[in-house]
Amino acid sequence: MESLASLLPLVGIALLFWLLLIRPAQRRQRETLRMQSAIAVGDEVMLTSGIFGTVQAVVDDRFEVEIAPGVVVTVARGAVGTVVTKAELSDEAERSDSVGSESTDPTDNQTGER
């Protein structure tokens, strides 16, 4: 009976480890696979490298993604990090419009000197 009681803390640590680390990682992996399998032609995606593009074709376990007009790259299904919604795209455009709006011209200062 005493040996069983000494194993109880180890069992508790293993259970805690499973609840805090393994289970959430499995859930994230399932959600990512579900998202990647639901991607269709025309979806705006962000690759894991940070490149944005539009899915042009789905071929087996690969996507053909247009990253610029006329530039199509073939990527593995696992390279797609997120599907970007229209709201996220408009938020990024607003942020990029506000960033760098100040003049960087060296002649554009208070005294007009260089």
- Is there a contact between 80 and 63 (Cβ–Cβ < 8 Å)? yes
* Shared-domain flag, residues 50 and 67: yes
Q: Output the tens digit of pLDDT for each of the chain's 114 residues.
A: 678 888 888 888 989 888 888 999 999 999 999 999 899 999 999 999 999 999 999 998 999 999 999 999 999 999 999 999 866 666 665 655 555 555 555 555 555 555
For the domain that residue 44 is a member of, what is the CATH number? Answer: 2.30.30
- 111 falls within a domain: no
Q: Which tokens belong to 3? A: 């040996």
Residues 6+ positions from 77 with CB-CB distance below 8 Å = 36, 37, 61, 62, 63
* Residue 107 resides in a domain: no
Q: Structural domain of residue 55, as residue ranges?
A: 40-99
> pTM here?
0.60
pLDDT confidence of residue 79: 92
pLDDT tens-digit series, residues 48-74: 999 999 999 999 899 999 999 999 999
Asked whether residue 110 is assigned to any structural domain, the reply reads no
